[in-house]
Amino acid sequence: MTVRIAPSLLSADFRTLGADIAMCEAGGADWIHVDVMDGRFVPSLSFGGKVIEAARRSTSKVVDVHLMVVEPEKYFDDFVKAGADVLTIHAEAAPHLDRQLSRIKELGCKAGVALNPATPLSAIEEIVHMLDLLLIMTVNPGYGGQTFIEYSVDKIERARFLLDQSGSTAVLEVDGGISRDTIARCWHAGADTFVAGNAVFGAADPQAEIGILRSLCADSA
């Protein structure tokens, strides 16, 4: 499997967003992760289309947009127009997953589904064939800097088995508490794409940290 490191702009310095994205690229980041939070599905409020536009103008990398919002379908057209390459919606906020994933794909975007820690994998069994990405949340969403939930490792293993058994080529992404201490376990469990916020932007040398996180997966292969 290919290791992908996706620094989360939620932990970036918004005064120097373009420079931070350039730093991530120089460090070898594969994707740029953008968290959209509406203050309803999760307690926090973050950013929307303008930041996606800024990210798109600043990078040729995949712009990976995670919608932690209710009624996510209201945002699809604007966010794809803004430059999103991947739109990931929460199963808990999207009761019509088939319709919503189909719409994302109609817009020419990759479609993903995120599952909160307590949401079972059965929530996506019927639509697994439609997924370009499955995101396993390894913290409860809404804030950066949270502690990794240990039982998530078993869920990642089961998610990998489900994707493989279904013949799916979907990316298996993890988000929450990813650091030097946790990334190798998630990689070994079957994840291939890692959202890292504080681990990157809180490091003494953020650019070098991206390479360190990647090497920890390679070392555990």
Contacts of 167 (CB under 8 A, 6+ apart): none
What burial letters (b/e) apply to 105-119, b meaning 16+ CB within 10 Å?
A: eeeebbbbbbbbeeb
Catalytic, out of 20, 35, 64, 132: 35
* Average pLDDT score over the chain: 95
Phi/psi zone of residue 73: left (φ > 0), alpha (ψ -120 to 50 degrees), beta? alpha
Catalytic site residue 78? Answer: no
Instruction: List C-alpha distances in Å: 103 to 99, 100, 111, 131, 206.
Output: 6, 5, 9, 12, 36
Q: What percent of the chain has pLDDT over 70?
A: 98
Catalytic site residue 175? Answer: yes
pLDDT of residue 155: 98
| pLDDT beyond 60 at 220 | no
Residue type, 85: D
| pLDDT beyond 70 at 194 | yes
pLDDT of residue 205: 96
pLDDT of residue 157: 98
Q: What is the pLDDT of residues 106-145, one digit of tens each?
A: 999 999 999 999 999 999 999 999 999 999 999 998 777 7
Residue type, 153: V
Q: Which of 9-18, 68-77, 173-182 has the lowest mean pLDDT?
A: 9-18
Q: In degrees rounded to 5, what are phi and psi of residue 18? A: -60, -40
Q: What is the pLDDT of residues 42-66, one digit of tens each?
A: 988 887 899 999 999 999 999 999 9
DSSP class of residue 93? G
